[in-house]
Structure 1
Amino acid sequence: MRLAFSASDVRESFEAVRREARASFGDDRVFIEKFVEQPRHIEIQVLGDTHGHVLHLNERDCSIQRRHQKVVEESPSPFVTPDMRARMGAQAVELAKAVGYHSAGTVEFIAGADRSFYFLEMNTRLQVEHPVTECVTGLDLVEWMIRIAAGERLPFTQEEIRLDGHAIETRFYAEDPYRGFLPSTGRLTRYAEPAPAPGLRIDSGVVEGSEISMFYDPMIAKVITHAPTRLEAADAQVAALDRFHVRGISHNADFLSALMQHPRFRAGEAVTTAFIAEEYPEGFAGAPGDARSLTHALALGALVAEAREREAAGIDHQLGTAAPSPRCQWVAELDGALTPIGIASGGEDIGLTIGDARLSIRNFRPPLAISGLAEAEIDGRSVAVQVDREKGHLRLTHAGRQHRFRLLAPRAAELQAFMIPKVPPDLSRYLLCPMPGLVVSIQVNEGDRVEAGQPLAVVEAMKMENILRAEKAGTVGKIHAQAGDSLAVDQVILEFA
């Protein structure tokens, strides 16, 4: 709904505000900020030397943010037109010249749906997202910062700055998107970056064995892809995130993959700074998963499980175990759904039937350990699925979604219908610490009556304070933690009577 106001209404309201300001503060000056509808965060990279030569290196779109923290950056922006790019670039260059700036810097703007734009701030440093500019311009910004500091002149003109293809950067955070993006800390028990590939760049500051503590920013790596088109760069992100194998902490790879596949993101123009809040109001539960990604997860899960069955059958002293035949019939259980699967192995070529679908698989590479990466070419397409062995099943991670998987013999699948499912324990009586962190304060006492939504405790992790609230009304029974305690994930803070 839109409300219409006359000029006299606006003047009357303005004068009322001035009178209130004069009465309260002794000063009738009023500051008014522009309200920007459907805002986008657009920034211009500038580069200036000590000889007065300043130019811009086009724009970056940093609109996808969570709690004002950037998550995805790309260049060029799918929203910015050539005319808008020229006007924003000219203003950024003018600002840098006005203050005598030299080196690399970034002028940031907020842009509205009508492509109007407004100055936000200038960052006089190299920013996290600088790789996307390097990809599309071919310029090494760190190198030019050093050369400018040494007194060199910029040898190129504004007209010579190129815009080659499209680049996307995603920020790989140590956080758990399945638990409200809570920070995650611990030791990297496994850290394997995707194998080098054309158009793929990984910037990181950690190695396997590094400790991710609660005292620093949660970003541990950046995934940068560069391709001729925006959609190709987004698809390359999904492929790279499938192959980024990190264990020991929770991370946001599934969420980043889901963003790259989201129809609104792929459309481009509808992405604003409110994108995540609007599209995930109830939190994140995994990418939706299309038919192809589910089929690929089923296929590689079945091959991994069948290979382990063969391995177990070959171990000495296994009673009543016979090696499976070259052609095997199984039933795959994926997230509770049962699907018949046939596997016909013929050396490097594997024929797979999943329901009525037939797949041709080559170059199957199972994980080298209990948990790891399974890869293969499925109908000519390179596919990777992360496999983790958990109690009674495998956890498969592919294309931003996690699945529970089991491979059953047909008879076992028939008996599955008669199994009584286990009821999980009731933990509603307890307030559990959702992530490793430091207790800042306990807001209640034993015996207090609390209402739903009431703050119970504050826990700090990775430079953020998290308020833990009551999910329902109740009475505090016993408090198990106090201010200053360092707690592990799911450690009991208090219990209700």
Structure 2
Amino acid sequence: MTTITKLLIANRGEIASRVIRTAREMDIPCVAVYSDADADADFVREADEAVHLPGTAPADTYLRADLVLEAARVTGADAIHPGYGFLSENAGFARACADAGITFVGPPPEAIESMGSKIEAKKTMAAAGVPVLPGITIDTDAEIDASALSARVADDIGYPVLVKAAFGGGGRGMRIVREEAGLVEAVEGARREAVTAFGDGTVFLERYLDAPRHIEVQIFADTQGNVVHFFERECSIQRRYQKIIEEAPSPIVDGALREELGSAAVAAGKAIGYVGAGTAEFVMGADGRFYFLEVNTRLQVEHPVTELVTGLDLVRLQLHVAEGNPLPDEALDASITGHAIEVRLYAEDVAAGFLPATGTVHGFTVPDLPGIRVDAGVSEGSEVGVHYDPMLAKVIAYGATRDEARRRLARALSESSLHGVVTNRELLVGILREPEFAAGTIDTGYLTRHDPLALARAGRGASIVPVHTLAAALAAQATHRAEARVLGTLPSGWRNVPSGWQETSFEVEGEDVAVRYRLTRGGLRAEVAGEALDAVLHEASPQRVDLTVAGVRRTCAVRRVAEVAYVDSALGSTTLAETARFPEPGSLNAPGSLLAPMPGTVVRVSVEEGARVAEGTTILVLEAMKMEHTIAAPTDGIVTEIRVTTGQTVDLGAVLAVVEEPS
């Protein structure tokens, strides 16, 4: 038995804040560690003490076990909670904590090692009677023989094949290969991504089940030999192999199947001598048969849904077990009450194929509705860069039934605002309100069957652009009048020549939209994009515009930051960048220029200048927010310029290469 007197959190963002919240309730002082990029982050201010890790990249900061242990030494922390990601599943780090006399809030190093390799994990699970899928392994330093690899896959697995990193998780390095032609490139790409994310390029290939359900089971174990499960979570709504919506319990799992899943998960925990919080993950086919994926030897991102349906605080239990205590009765006899659904709010551009987004957070609010919980890693003024995972916050809803939780969450999200960074909020709302999701008939192919962009736009009113652009223009004019130093009593939009129009334009979703309006004795006259609007203005202030358009009255909340207006109403949310009337002349990019779709680092240049390429040929690969993004030739042509080199950091919109069509 031991007592934790000071806890260091070896992580960042929302999970660091989450751990601090429970530790504070337990009267355990907390130490944060932070990189240069996180110097002003919320979790740093929330901790009792904080230690700077010089640098920005994870490999230089949060992944430096020596720096984290030194931070614990200088602050007198006698325990470390690793959160998830970074060092959380690093057996060497767990062992180093023990060697330093520091309690690692997680499983024993041996348990981490046994599950750290997906290959060895599957062998262990098969021996324990847990169902597994067939697969093969390619070591990090192994030479790839294309013909031999193709033969092994054909003989031992068959297509389609899932390629994934053998160490780590979170969807890093995952590729689906449906035919022999793309096999080698997928393996090589997965290797690079695995090295970047986990420091080991070993990859694992296994048979891919088309559109299965992704079901996981929360397990918990203490040092007295108790191993229990806290039921299942449904994690089938995914994009790019990463979860975006999770719920507990699963809408497809009945009592008998729950017992079967739970027994398999507990068997997995016992087989590896588990201690603490862990998750056994399974894929389930349409026939109800399930197969082992992995055991995540850490707390999961989606743990709040389990907390809400069981009434347990999993972080509190982690700390309780780490002190050598047995699991309390409420954990040994846990039960499910109600339903909970969680969404992950990501900084990403759905319309651009889920590309990561960056920026400064303005006005992040979630309405305070019954049953709503928010675990956030950002707040007003937070900077979202390219170095870390793009998840900004988790919004979780609890209800007596699944439908109640679903409706509460959809309403809370639809009334939320997060400005300054492009997010997936509207996609999440669209999914929650879509009939197939509402019925619970979901699987990992959901976002293949349903167009993400169509889902994101489903909840937006058709008149959102004209209403919001007019509201932004009227709010801007109200701001000008409020700031006027002379003739401040004149009404907004007053003109010496009554027939004069106020004119402005905004860039909205990549298009320029012109707005013209006049405020006359007869009321408001307005045109948007050349179309006259039947509009009545009731009130206009810099932050609020009360407007009737086409017989429907709505209130628009307007937030202006520099030349950008963020407008929210019942129609949805819009970002409008005011277009300069007299823009500075700028140089035009050469025809055929390939531009960086996001800030990032060049990890591979695949062709040389002068090469003749076909449409779709990979020109180079960018990495941003731990994910690789391929820049391909948009047409057949000749690569006339390569303007970047491997390892170079580029900004959004930078010219990377030029591909000219042959004359």
TM-score, normalization by structure 1: 0.72
Match of 2:234 in 1: 61
Match of 2:496 in 1: 320
Q: What residue identity is the alignment partner of 2:536?
A: G
Q: 1:54 & 1:77 partners in 2: Cα distance?
A: 21
Q: What residue identity is the alignment partner of 1:473?
A: D
8 Å contact 1:443–1:455 — kept in the other structure? yes
Alignment of 1:446 onto 2:617: no
Q: 2:522 & 2:538 partners in 1: Cα distance?
A: 4
Q: Deviations over 1:239-279 (max 9, x none)?
A: 4334554444433223222222333222212x111212232
- Structure 1 position 195, deviation (Å): 4.4
Q: 1:241 & 1:268 partners in 2: Cα distance?
A: 19
Alignment of 1:483 onto 2:646: yes
Match of 1:289 in 2: 458
8 Å contact 2:361–2:384 — kept in the other structure? no
Larger CA deviation: 445-454 vs 318-327: 318-327
Match of 1:182 in 2: 355
Structure 1: runs of 5+ lacking an equivalent? 1-20, 377-382, 394-424
Which of residues 395, 403, 408 is equivalent to 1:236? 408
Match of 1:466 in 2: 629
8 Å contact 1:74–1:132 — kept in the other structure? yes
- Structure 1 position 479, deviation (Å): 2.9
Q: 1:490 & 1:372 partners in 2: Cα distance?
A: 22
- Structure 1 position 164, deviation (Å): 2.5
Match of 2:301 in 1: 128
8 Å contact 2:459–2:572 — kept in the other structure? no
Q: 1:331 & 1:105 partners in 2: Cα distance?
A: 59
Alignment of 1:201 onto 2:379: no
- Structure 1 position 233, deviation (Å): 2.7
Does the C-alpha gap of structure 1 residues 358 and 80 become closer, same or farther in structure 2, counting only changes over 3 Å?
same
8 Å contact 1:455–1:469 — kept in the other structure? yes
Identity of counterpart residues, as a percentage? 36
Structure 2: runs of 5+ lacking an equivalent? 1-147, 159-205, 488-493, 499-517, 581-587
Larger CA deviation: 68-77 vs 173-182: 173-182
Does the C-alpha gap of structure 1 residues 262 and 481 become closer, same or farther in structure 2, counting only changes over 3 Å?
same
Does the C-alpha gap of structure 1 residues 492 and 55 become closer, same or farther in structure 2, counting only changes over 3 Å?
same
Does the C-alpha gap of structure 1 residues 434 and 275 become closer, same or farther in structure 2, counting only changes over 3 Å?
same
8 Å contact 1:326–1:344 — kept in the other structure? no
8 Å contact 1:43–1:62 — kept in the other structure? yes
- Higher helix residue share: 2
Alignment of 1:251 onto 2:423: yes
Q: Counterpart of 1:471 in 2: which secondary structure?
A: coil
Which of residues 388, 393, 396 is equivalent to 1:221? 393
Q: 1:219 & 1:351 partners in 2: Cα distance?
A: 34
Q: 2:283 & 2:473 partners in 1: Cα distance?
A: 51
8 Å contact 1:47–1:103 — kept in the other structure? yes
Q: What residue identity is the alignment partner of 1:180?
A: G
Q: What residue identity is the alignment partner of 2:296?
A: N
Q: What residue identity is the alignment partner of 2:639?
A: V
Which of residues 20, 27, 42 is equivalent to 2:215? 42
- Structure 1 position 139, deviation (Å): 0.7
Which of residues 594, 600, 605 is equivalent to 1:437? 600
Q: Deviations over 1:175-215 (max 9, x none)?
A: 22221112234x42526242443322222333444443433
- Structure 1 position 232, deviation (Å): 3.5
Q: Deviations over 1:377-419 (max 9, x none)?
A: xxxxxx48545442259xxxxxxxxxxxxxxxxxxxxxxxxxx
Q: Deviations over 1:134-165 (max 9, x none)?
A: 11111100001111222333333689533232
Q: 1:288 & 1:307 partners in 2: Cα distance?
A: 25
Match of 2:619 in 1: 456
Q: What residue identity is the alignment partner of 1:390?
A: A
Does the C-alpha gap of structure 1 residues 295 and 464 become closer, same or farther in structure 2, counting only changes over 3 Å?
closer
8 Å contact 2:377–2:393 — kept in the other structure? yes
Match of 2:312 in 1: 139
Larger CA deviation: 236-245 vs 193-202: 236-245
Q: Counterpart of 1:87 in 2: which secondary structure?
A: helix
Larger CA deviation: 134-143 vs 461-470: 461-470
Q: What residue identity is the alignment partner of 2:443?
A: T
Match of 1:263 in 2: 435
Q: What residue identity is the alignment partner of 2:496?
A: G
8 Å contact 1:328–1:344 — kept in the other structure? no
Q: Counterpart of 1:72 in 2: which secondary structure?
A: strand
Q: Counterpart of 1:71 in 2: which secondary structure?
A: strand
Q: 1:446 & 1:176 partners in 2: Cα distance?
A: 31
Q: Deviations over 1:309-353 (max 9, x none)?
A: 5555674456428895798454564x8876523345699xx9965
- Structure 1 position 296, deviation (Å): 7.6
Q: 1:177 & 1:275 partners in 2: Cα distance?
A: 15
8 Å contact 2:218–2:278 — kept in the other structure? yes
Alignment of 1:340 onto 2:534: yes
Q: 2:249 & 2:392 partners in 1: Cα distance?
A: 25
- Structure 1 position 301, deviation (Å): 6.4
- Structure 1 position 167, deviation (Å): 1.4
Does the C-alpha gap of structure 1 residues 181 and 106 become closer, same or farther in structure 2, counting only changes over 3 Å?
same
Does the C-alpha gap of structure 1 residues 115 and 331 become closer, same or farther in structure 2, counting only changes over 3 Å?
farther
- Structure 1 position 305, deviation (Å): 4.7
Q: 1:164 & 1:246 partners in 2: Cα distance?
A: 32
Larger CA deviation: 152-161 vs 119-128: 152-161
Q: Counterpart of 1:287 in 2: which secondary structure?
A: helix
Q: 1:30 & 1:486 partners in 2: Cα distance?
A: 41
Does the C-alpha gap of structure 1 residues 119 and 450 become closer, same or farther in structure 2, counting only changes over 3 Å?
closer
Q: 1:284 & 1:392 partners in 2: Cα distance?
A: 26
Q: 2:658 & 2:567 partners in 1: Cα distance?
A: 43
Q: What residue identity is the alignment partner of 1:284?
A: L
Match of 2:291 in 1: 118
Q: What residue identity is the alignment partner of 1:66?
A: R
Q: What residue identity is the alignment partner of 2:577?
A: E
Does the C-alpha gap of structure 1 residues 139 and 158 become closer, same or farther in structure 2, counting only changes over 3 Å?
closer
Q: What residue identity is the alignment partner of 1:340?
A: D
Does the C-alpha gap of structure 1 residues 45 and 343 become closer, same or farther in structure 2, counting only changes over 3 Å?
same
RMSD: 3.9
- Structure 1 position 115, deviation (Å): 1.8
Alignment of 1:278 onto 2:449: yes
8 Å contact 2:347–2:391 — kept in the other structure? yes
